[in-house]
Amino acid sequence: MEQQAVLDRGADGTVLDYEAIVIGAGVAGIYQIKRLTDLGMKATVLEAGGDLGGTWYWNRYPGARFDSESYTYGYSWSKELLEEWHWKERFSSQPENYRYLSYVADKFDLRKHMQFNATVRSAHFDDAGSWWTVTLEDGRVFTTRILITGLGLLSAATPPRYPGVDSFKGQSWHTYYWPHEPVELAGKRVAVVGTGATGIQVIADIADKVGTLTVFQRRPNWSAPLHNGPITEEEMADIRSRYDEIFARCAETPGGFEHRPDKRGFYNFTPEERRAFWDELYEQPGFGIWMANFREIFMDEEANAEISAYIADRIRQRVKDPVLAEKLIPKDHGFGVQRVPLETHYFEVYNRDNVRLVDLSETPIECITEHGIRTTGEDFEFDIIVYATGFDAMTGAFDRIDFQGSGGLKLRDKWKDGPVTFLGMQVHGFPNLIMLAGPQSGSASANFPRGIESGVDWTTQLIEHVRAGGHTRFEATEAAEQAWSEHVKDMYSMVLMRNAKSWFTGYNSNVDGHEQGTIRYFVYNGGGPRYVRRLNEVTDRGYDGIEFG
C-alpha cells in the first residue's frame, strides 16, 4: 500500500522495522495496539514486564484493587466485550483486573503484537530520516517512524533512600514489586513504611493475616470507606443494559466517574444540612465523598476546613484510642487536596492488639538495619519490610529512558524543572512522538481508562491524518506547547491541591530534585470534558498546533 510505504521507509529510503512502536502493554498500550493493527499498520508493543497488564501486572500486593467502579474502568470500545465480561466486585481486585486485560488481549489476538521482557533503554530521533531508533536493555535495536508511549503514570517505583536499605537480612520489597509467588505472612513480624493509597490498602488487608504489623507513618492521609461488594448476575445484567448511559455520564464528569460534583453551592446550606449530606456520601461506595461533594471543598479554604473537620470526626469515631486517632488525622493538608485513598476497615486496624503505629514525625527513621528498622526512638526487628513509598510520578518513567529528540535534545533536560507539553500528547523538539496519558494530559488525572480511550482515539486519528497526508514528520510547535503548559499551570491556581505535598505536584522525598516540594505541573485540572473538547478542537482545525512535514 502506497500510504504505508511512507511510514515504514525513512526519507532516505531506509526500510524501518515498524511504522509504530508502543512502549508499554498496560491499559493504554493494549487499546492502542488494537487500533493500530486494525488500521493494518506494522506495529509492536515493547513491554518491560513478563506479561501485559501494566499497573495490574506489577502491583500484586495484598489489597490492591480498583477504587473506580469496575464497570466504569473497563474498556468501552467493544460491545461484545461489554456483553461477555462479568465484573464480580464493585471494586475489582488485582488478580481479576489482570485476568480481564489478558482476556481482552486474547480475545482480540493482540499478544502476537507484543514483546515482553523488552525494557527500553533509549529512544533517539534521527533528523535526516525522521524516524526513531529504540534500543532495549538487552541490546536489541528497532527503528520506527512513530513512537508512542504508554509508560504509566505511576510505574517508576521509589523505595526510600535510608542508609542500610540493602543490608536487611529478611524479606523486603517495594509494593510495586510484591513477589509473584505467594508470600507467607502468618506469624511474621511485618513492617509497612508509607500510608498513601497503596499503604492503606496493604495495611488493611494484611493486619489480620500477620503475626505483628508495625506501620511507619510519616504523614497521615485523609481516607474514606470504599464500601466494596459483589456484583450479582442480575446486577451485571442491569449494568450491561445501561453501559451506554454509564459511559455517557462518565464522559460528562470532570473525573470520568459516575460521581458528579454537586453544584448546588456549599454556602446555600446550613452546617447541619451539609453534615447530613456528607453522612450520605460517606456511606456510599467509591469516590462520592470526594467527587460528588460540593465543588467549593476543592477551592475554598473555609469549605475545605469544614469537610476536613467532618472526616476527622469520622476517624475519631472509628479509632478507639483518642491519642492514636489524632495521629491518624492529617494536620498539614485538608481533605481532598491530595488523592484520597479509599479503604476497607483501615482505621479499625489500629484497634487490633497486633498492630502498632510509629509516628515518624516524632521519631524519624535513622536507618534500616540487618534485622529491621531503627528510628530515633527505638530499634525494631522484622521478618518482612514492605515499602509503600510511592512513585516518581508522571515523568519518572520518561526519565528512566534516554529520550533524545531533534538535534539530540534530551527530554530529561527539557523537563528538568517539570514537564512542558502540547495537550500532554506531544513535546516540541520530539517529532513523531505521542504520549498516552502523558503528563499534563486530561487522561492522567482521573478514572484513567476513560481518559486513556480519548487519548488513544485522538492518537489514532492523528496517525490516519499523517498517513493520508503522506507526511513523514509531525511535531507540536513551541507556541502551542507554551500555551498549553501555561493553561495547565493556570488551572492549578484555582485548586487548593496546588499547596499539597503529593505526586500531583511532583513531590517525592526519594527522588533528587523532587524533595523540596517545588511545584511541577503534572496533571490537567480542567476536567475530562473540557480536555476532550480541546482535543476535538485541535482535530477540527486541521491539527492546529502541530506542524507536518
Distance, CA of 435 to CA of 427 (rounded, Å): 9
Query: Which of 361, 536 has the CB closer to ligand NAP?
Result: 361
Q: Give least dist CB 445 to ligand NAP, A.
A: 9
Distance, CA of 495 to CA of 481 (rounded, Å): 22
Q: What phi and psi values does residue 229 have, to the nearest 5 degrees?
A: -175, 165
Q: Give least dist CB 131 to ligand NAP, A.
A: 34
Alpha helices in 257-382, H assignment, sequence order = 271-282, 288-291, 301-318, 322-327, 346-349
Cβ–Cβ < 8 Å for 314, 329 = no
Instruction: Show Cβ contacts of residue 509 under 8 Å, excluding neighbours closer than 6 positions.
Output: 160, 515
Query: Which of 160, 285 has the CB closer to ligand NAP?
Result: 160
Q: Give least dist CB 204 to ligand NAP, A.
A: 12
Distance, CA of 442 to CA of 438 (rounded, Å): 9
Q: Give least dist CB 102 to ligand NAP, A.
A: 19
Q: Give least dist CB 521 to ligand NAP, A.
A: 17
Instruction: Show Cβ contacts of residue 246 under 8 Å, excluding neighbours closer than 6 positions.
Output: 71, 72, 239, 258
Strand pairing report for 372-375 and 379-381: antiparallel
Cβ–Cβ < 8 Å for 24, 150 = yes
Chain-centre distance of CA 129, in angstroms?
Answer: 34
Query: Which of 60, 65 has the CB closer to ligand NAP?
Result: 65
Q: Give least dist CB 4 to ligand NAP, A.
A: 39
Q: Give least dist CB 43 to ligand NAP, A.
A: 29
Q: Which amino acid is at 433?
A: L
Cβ–Cβ < 8 Å for 437, 455 = yes
- Decide: helix, strand or coil at residue 181: coil
Beta bridge partners of residue 46, listed in sequence order: 23, 115
Strand pairing report for 384-387 and 189-193: parallel
Query: Which of 66, 484 has the CB closer to ligand NAP?
Result: 66
Q: What phi and psi values does residue 397 have, to the nearest 5 degrees?
A: -70, -30
Cβ–Cβ < 8 Å for 188, 384 = yes
Query: Which of 16, 523 has the CB closer to ligand NAP?
Result: 523
Q: HSE-up of 377 (CA within 13 Å, CB side)?
A: 8
Nearest CA to 328 among 336, 318, 337, 338? 318
Residue nearest to ligand NAP (CB): 196
Q: Give least dist CB 124 to ligand NAP, A.
A: 31
Distance, CA of 226 to CA of 91 (rounded, Å): 8
For residue 537, the tally of other CB atoms under 10 A from its CB is 11
Q: Give least dist CB 295 to ligand NAP, A.
A: 21
Q: Give least dist CB 241 to ligand NAP, A.
A: 27
Nearest CA to 442 among 259, 157, 250? 250
Query: Which of 406, 510 has the CB closer to ligand NAP?
Result: 510
Query: Which of 65, 467 has the CB closer to ligand NAP?
Result: 65
Q: Give least dist CB 154 to ligand NAP, A.
A: 5
Q: Give least dist CB 129 to ligand NAP, A.
A: 39
Query: Which of 219, 414 has the CB closer to ligand NAP?
Result: 219
Query: Which of 151, 546 has the CB closer to ligand NAP?
Result: 151
Query: Which of 266, 387 has the CB closer to ligand NAP?
Result: 387
The single-letter DSSP state of residue 115 is E
Alpha helices in 114-175, H assignment, sequence order = none
Show the beta-strand stretches assigned E in 76-165.
114-115, 120-126, 131-136, 141-149
Residues that bind ligand NAP in the complex, under the rule CB under 6 A? 65-67, 154, 160, 193-199, 201, 216, 218-219, 339, 360, 388-391, 503, 509-510
